Chains A and B, each alone.
Chain A
Amino acid sequence: MTAQTDAPLLRVRGLKTWFHTFGGVVKAVDGVSFDLSPGKILGIVGESGGGKSMVGFSIMGLVDRPGRIEAGEIIFDGRDLARLDDDAMQAVRGRQIAMIFQDPMTALNPLYTIGNQLEEMLTLHTDLGPQARRARCIEMLAEVGIPQPEARLGAYPHQFSGGMRQRVVIAIAMIAEPRLLIADEPTTALDVTIQAQLLRLMKAQVEQRRTALILITHDLAAVSQMADRIVVLYCGRVVEIGASAALIASPRHPYTRGLLDSIPASHQGRSRLPQIPGTVPDIRKLPPGCSFAPRCPRAAERCRAEVPELTAAAGGSAFACHFPLEASA
């Protein structure tokens, strides 16, 4: 099968990121593990509140109070980031690992020009002189598809649409050529053609520079075309992980199935989709047993009593379910 030839650049093991709030402990990430090699793309999918962004922030060392990494390892290039202090993490951020933030409307400082905020990245992480920095910024803006990049350098964020800001955020994350790029819903604000263009751009970066990419999204369809492997998160836990083609073709976990069924088949009009019934539960008050049980069509007595463990299956995949779907093929 697709045995990974490279040693992983990133190895996450048993990551737990919890928030100690007055209302109880929010286990936003609760025991997540995965590997990622250089030049590979890992998709992280799941519904809102599943803990996707928190996985990204944990790797960046940017979990806000009252949250903290409770347990687990984040081995990046041989070092455990979970144990680095903030000064050491600062040397990793931006240069080694960059992140594209989810909300383009709020990620840019309103008081500085686009050029200033883009150039800051080069000032921080390269030895380029002012001329070279400017040239590189213009080049990068052009690459993310911003028309008249030279003129736009002096513009402020409020003069850009959401989609344009998203591209600026992408340009900032990519300009210092990090070894790991975490893209948190990088294309949600954009229309389909631009989405495809930017995903291609990221893919090119992955292929040419052997960047490792974590692609976080709601959209299982988009990620399946890009990613080598996919992690499905539900309530902070991995419910299924596997090579993307196999996972799409034959999901084993009922939640993955549900996500797949709610993908609009392309070019088929706006017929109503079978949404997964019910809503994501409050993470502070998860039911005992399988957290998906209240919404699962296959739920049985055992599901409500016993937490399903992540069990390995064929092809390096794994799922956490007592009554998995049949493996086809």
Chain B
Amino acid sequence: MFGHLIKRFIQMIFVLWIVSVLVFVMMSFTGDPTFMMVPLDATDEQIEQARRILGLDQSHLVQYWRFLTNLLQGDFGRSFVFRQPALQLIMERLPATLEIVFLAMIMALVVAIPLGVYAGAYPQRAGSRALMAGSLIGISLPGFWLGMVLIFIFAVKLQMFPSSGRGPTEMIWGMRLSFLSWEGFRHLILPAVTLSVGTLAILMSIIRAEMMEVLRQDYIKFARAKGAANRFVLFKHGLKNALIPLITVFGLMLGDLIAFATLTETIFAWPGIGKLLVDSIYRGDRPVIVVYLMFVAFLFVVVNFLVDVAYALIDPRIKVS
């Protein structure tokens, strides 16, 4: 187990290194940032000097080396637009994104698990068929469209929830969080619902399929033969086995959520890292884009590492092999 974790850790480092190369290559081929830095009427000499300061006169290899050593020292450069460290910008906006992502994930899990278990246990019932049809719709609904429909119904017509922005926040451990006050929480609901629908639909159909597979197993029949109640058999003996494959897709799912958060944040003017990314792309704010990409890659790798650990904890067969 320990050796396994070490191996995964080394893999993690390797993946991050590859990402750094990709990000660097991408950045090197998407225009010259010098013109972002110098005034419009700069002389050739000034431009030359700016290039030297940015290190762009060096070979790509030297440039990459500088890029990498800076990354390792935690120096990600300053935003051209905000004139403050890019990492700090990301970190300031991260809690806002995490808030809707986690709320969306929790909503998706809380709804998808019981519905998926039901649909898997009684696939021939009308209720299950309706759920699967609903899940198909949920998977294929475009997020931006859903977001706009929700805004139209719940914000414009019914005026139940605000249509955009973050509302009041409170500082907890240096993070600005909305969900602690009712007013803040109200702002969270529509973006989180928009974000959760697709994940919910996918989770539900995965759980249903896994449950159907697991319920065919002999140990389920044996649990019934022991005289256990149906619900007990479904949740103790069925669900836990059905969750194992789910854990592996959890990391991917979180990645999806972070990616889709970009869209949702834009629709709801939610000040998270997704919106920051979109804004930075428009403004050509290279350091912020670099930090965003590196950070998301880092998050991905860490989550998948944790998923691996959780996998080993829940499935006793992993530890030995």
Chain A residue contacts of B315, Cβ below 8 A:
110-111
List 26 contacting pairs A-B, 8 Å CB cutoff, sorted by A: A60-B225, A62-B225, A64-B221, A86-B230, A90-B227, A92-B227, A93-B224, A93-B226, A93-B227, A94-B228, A98-B225, A98-B226, A101-B221, A101-B225, A106-B218, A107-B219, A107-B222, A108-B222, A110-B241, A111-B241, A120-B228, A125-B227, A156-B317, A158-B316, A159-B320, A172-B222
- A298 to B45 Cα, complex, angstroms: 112
Q: How far is the CB of A273 from chain B (nearest CB, A)?
A: 30
Chain A residue contacts of B217, Cβ below 8 A:
106
B299-319 vs A, CB cutoff 8 Å, 1 = contact: the mask equals 000000000000000111100
Check if A95 is an interface residue, CB within 8 A of chain B: yes
**A107, B218: Cβ atoms closer than 8 Å:** yes
Chain B residue contacts of A101, Cβ below 8 A:
218, 221-222, 225
10 closest A-B pairs by beta carbon, nearest first, are A94-B227, A106-B218, A93-B227, A156-B316, A109-B219, A94-B226, A107-B222, A99-B225, A158-B317, A111-B240
Chain B residue contacts of A283, Cβ below 8 A:
none
**B316, A111: Cβ atoms closer than 8 Å:** yes
Chain A residues within CB distance 8 Å of chain B: 60, 62, 64, 86, 90-95, 98-99, 101, 103, 106-113, 120-121, 124-125, 156, 158-159, 169, 172
**B221, A95: Cβ atoms closer than 8 Å:** no
Quick one: which of B241-258 are within 8 Å of A by CB? 241
Quick one: which of B184-206 are within 8 Å of A by CB? none
Interface residues on B, range: 20 to 34
Scoring A62, A91, A95, A109 by chain B CB atoms within 10 A of each residue's CB, the highest score goes to A109
**B226, A124: Cβ atoms closer than 8 Å:** yes
Identify the closest chain A residue to B228 (Cβ): A124
Interface of B, helix, strand, loop or mixed by DSSP:
helix
Identify the closest chain A residue to B229 (Cβ): A90
Given contacts A101-B221, A103-B218, contact A110 B317 (CB under 8 A): yes
- A64 to B221 Cα, complex, angstroms: 9
Chain B residues within CB distance 8 Å of chain A: 217-219, 221-230, 237, 240-241, 314-317, 320
Chain A residue contacts of B316, Cβ below 8 A:
110-111, 113, 156, 158
**A121, B226: Cβ atoms closer than 8 Å:** yes
**A124, B225: Cβ atoms closer than 8 Å:** no
Q: A93-B225, A111-B241, A120-B228 are in contact. List 8 more A-B contacts (CB 8 A).
A: A62-B224, A64-B221, A90-B230, A93-B226, A93-B227, A108-B219, A158-B316, A158-B317
Chain B residue contacts of A110, Cβ below 8 A:
219, 241, 315-317
Chain B residue contacts of A91, Cβ below 8 A:
227
Chain A residue contacts of B317, Cβ below 8 A:
110, 156, 158
**B320, A158: Cβ atoms closer than 8 Å:** yes
Scoring B224, B230, B315 by chain A CB atoms within 10 A of each residue's CB, the highest score goes to B224
Chain A residue contacts of B219, Cβ below 8 A:
106-110
Chain B residue contacts of A169, Cβ below 8 A:
222
Chain B residue contacts of A98, Cβ below 8 A:
225-226
**A109, B241: Cβ atoms closer than 8 Å:** yes
- A121 to B226 Cα, complex, angstroms: 6
Identify the closest chain B residue to A156 (Cβ): B316
Given contacts A111-B241, A158-B320, contact A172 B226 (CB under 8 A): yes
**B227, A109: Cβ atoms closer than 8 Å:** no
Q: How far is the CB of A179 from chain B (nearest CB, A)?
A: 13
Chain B residue contacts of A86, Cβ below 8 A:
230
- A106 to B226 Cα, complex, angstroms: 15
Identify the closest chain A residue to B238 (Cβ): A109
**A109, B224: Cβ atoms closer than 8 Å:** no
**A111, B314: Cβ atoms closer than 8 Å:** yes
Chain B residue contacts of A121, Cβ below 8 A:
226
Identify the closest chain B residue to A172 (Cβ): B226
Q: How far is the CB of A212 from chain B (nearest CB, A)?
A: 17
